[in-house]
Structure 1
Amino acid sequence: MNQDLVLAIALPLTLFIMMFSMGANLSPGDFRTLWARPSSVLCGLVSQMLLLPVLAFLLLSGMSLPPEIMIGFMILALSPGGTTSNVFSYLVGGNLALSIALTAIVSLITPFSLPLVAGWIIDSRFAGDSEIALPFLSTVGKLTAVTLVPVTLGMILRHYRPALCERYEFWMTRIPFLMLLAVIGGIIAQNWARMPEFLALTAMPALLLASAALAAGYALARGLRRDRRDARTIAIETSIQNGGTAILVTGTILGNPAMTIAPVMYGILMLLPVMGYLAGLRLQARLGLAD
């Protein structure tokens, strides 16, 4: 498939369906976590929206990455709320209600926070380059159209047709994920000749950032006296990012294929530290140890 077609049509459609599916699994009751555990919700938001971008900037600035790769990673760090975070939060014995609440909240914030901060980063890294710019209002509009709008529509469907959403929950969550994998596969196929180069540039930074985010999220939560279940959830939510949103910004809005490589690689490699964490927790449980 032509890369322009993937980025212009397949990716926005996939992200729209993914966010609609997420909304169809949310209800107003999920937001009660805001009132039941406000400190944990605030801690999670700080970890996702502030700690991770700062961590990414400090970690990656010392790696002498090309500006396009650096910005790709930073846009990824500004795209919280990965669709698989809820699943992994459940698997590690975290607080699923907290995970769902955090995913819902950041989906409302990101369309506004991402273009604001990413625009500033691009201006500072590409000063004087008029071809690389992230217009704030049009970016907000596009992100709202493919994230906030479908989440809202999904929640409306959930409110009026809860039985329908529950009946098709399996397919509504699996199909969008498979679609995103297909989009990522299309991007990789179109850049196959340069994949060794891209892997050399992004594999180690992606693994380091995902691992550091996991550890930092957990450390922040425990440092603020959150219990282990909440800390595990916050760690997962900090490490797992919304690659679809990041690729939409880098590839579709900015139209810079080189910038898409960082979120594509992170979207694949971020699962390795999380799966390692899950394996470690299960081993600790067998040995009767506390994390």
Structure 2
Amino acid sequence: MTDSLLFRIGVPLGLFIIMFGLGATLSRAQLYVAVKDRAAMAAGLLSQVILLPLIGIIIAWLAPVSVEFKYGILILACCPGGTTSNIFTYLARGNLALSVSLTTISSLLSLLTLPVTLALGAMVLSQQAAPVDIPQGYIIKSLLAVTVVPVCLGMLIRFKWPNLANWLESRITVFSSLFLAVLVAAIGIKDWEVLYGNMPTLGPFLMLLSASTMLLGTAMARMVRAGRADAVTIGLEAGIQNSGLAIFIALSVIGNELMSIPAAIYSVSMYICAAVMISIGRRQYRRESGIQVASSR
């Protein structure tokens, strides 16, 4: 699989385009609105950078799966938020400006945070299972190429040529969904027996990862007295990860296709937890809107 054209060229190229699109969606106005509420921004970043990897390490430790799958869970938990969270936030009537800002900033910070949290997680797992070589230097170079550079280029396009950025935004959003679907399908076709055989074991733990981080992210938002929209947004940002980046690291950087299986399963299972969060967010929004209408009469 790792020698195929799709995974050698298609995955990094697809990620580059998606991260470029992410940078192109972040306007000055969105960034200003998000940064103005420092408490919500801090809660969101702490949920993604510290809380999520910690929960991922615990789940990887507890899961009765092979060492490759444990490291696959760890890689996924160390990745920044995925662009899909922005769509989910919109559907849940959350704070879209905060969502885009958190996804963008966490992606830029991943150049530093991902290698560190991955190394710490690997150190913990090595006490339980055989250690796995994590090429830190190569990971940093790869993150620079497929996350930091394209995000910065996208932000430059947004600031210099906003009309072009608006034209690109919807198209790259569609592309990102199709890219992830094709990527998961390709892994499923190649490793169907492994994927299908381990889904009953891995699935519940991956759903636990998503559900627990959504709940804890929402709780952290409430601790800083964030409003409904911000709390829903932070919950989704904490619970929806960049599974495409996790697959890229497993396949193209570490070179272990079994480590990509948890991210492939997660790419499907996350929709279940997201659907629940969207339903809660929309119900709270309707209740909040009803109260506001009643009070204005």
Does TM, normalized by the shorter one, top 0.5?
A: yes
In structure 2, distance between residues paired with 1:270 and 1:16: 22
Letter in 2 for 1:174: V
Q: Counterparts in 2 of 1:72-221, with a 5 A limit?
A: 72-126=72-126, 132-221=132-221
Match of 1:236 in 2: 236
1:3 to partner: Cα distance: 4.5
In structure 2, distance between residues paired with 1:180 and 1:15: 10
1:253 to partner: Cα distance: 0.5
1:269 to partner: Cα distance: 0.7
Answer with 81-90 or 166-175: which moved more: 166-175
Answer with 11-20 or 52-61: which moved more: 52-61
Secondary structure of 2:79's counterpart equals coil
After superposition, give the CA deviation of every residue in 1:49-92 in whole Å (9 maximum; x if it has no partner): 11111122223422323221111111111112211111111211
Letter in 2 for 1:240: I
Secondary structure of 1:4's counterpart equals coil
- The answer to whether the 8 A contact 2:213-2:238 is kept is yes
In structure 2, distance between residues paired with 1:157 and 1:261: 35
Q: Percent identity?
A: 33
Match of 1:273 in 2: 273
Answer with 232-241 or 93-102: which moved more: 93-102
Secondary structure of 2:3's counterpart equals helix
In structure 1, distance between residues paired with 2:35 and 2:19: 24
CA gap of 1:156–1:209, structure 2 versus 1, over 3 A, is same
In structure 2, distance between residues paired with 1:25 and 1:281: 23
Match of 2:24 in 1: 24
After superposition, give the CA deviation of every residue in 1:132-159 in whole Å (9 maximum; x if it has no partner): 3122222101111011101111122222
TM-score by length of 1: 0.91
Letter in 1 for 2:169: E
Match of 2:41 in 1: 41
In structure 2, distance between residues paired with 1:173 and 1:282: 22
- The answer to whether the 8 A contact 2:95-2:229 is kept is yes
After superposition, give the CA deviation of every residue in 1:244-278 in whole Å (9 maximum; x if it has no partner): 11111111111111111111111211111111222
1:8 to partner: Cα distance: 1.7
Asked whether 1:13 is paired with 2:4, we answer no
Answer with 235-244 or 58-67: which moved more: 58-67
In structure 2, distance between residues paired with 1:61 and 1:260: 17
In structure 2, distance between residues paired with 1:168 and 1:19: 12
TM-score by length of 2: 0.89
CA RMSD, aligned part only? 2.2
In structure 2, distance between residues paired with 1:9 and 1:231: 38
In structure 1, distance between residues paired with 2:238 and 2:68: 23
Secondary structure of 2:64's counterpart equals coil
In structure 1, distance between residues paired with 2:249 and 2:100: 24
- The answer to whether the 8 A contact 1:119-1:135 is kept is no
Equivalent residues, number: 288
Asked whether 1:64 is paired with 2:97, we answer no
- The answer to whether the 8 A contact 1:7-1:251 is kept is yes
Letter in 2 for 1:9: I
In structure 2, distance between residues paired with 1:160 and 1:82: 25
